[in-house]
Amino acid sequence: MLINCPDCRIQFIILLLQKIASVVWLSSFE
């Protein structure tokens, strides 16, 4: 999957950060 436009890249990074944040947030309760 190639991401060329800056906006698409920013959205992709935001989604990735949200996934990582949710995993870290859930794991902090263990």
Q: 1-30 pLDDT, tens per residue?
A: 565 678 888 999 999 999 999 999 999 887
Give the pLDDT score at 20: 97
Give the pLDDT score at 1: 55
Give the pLDDT score at 29: 80
Alpha helices in the chain (DSSP H): 6-27
C-alpha neighbours within 13 Å on the C-beta side of residue 29: 4
Cα 6–chain centre separation: 15
Give the pLDDT score at 3: 59
Domain that holds residue 20: 1-30
Give the pLDDT score at 8: 83
DSSP assigned state of 27: H
Q: Is the pTM of this model over 0.85?
A: no
Total domains present in the chain: 1
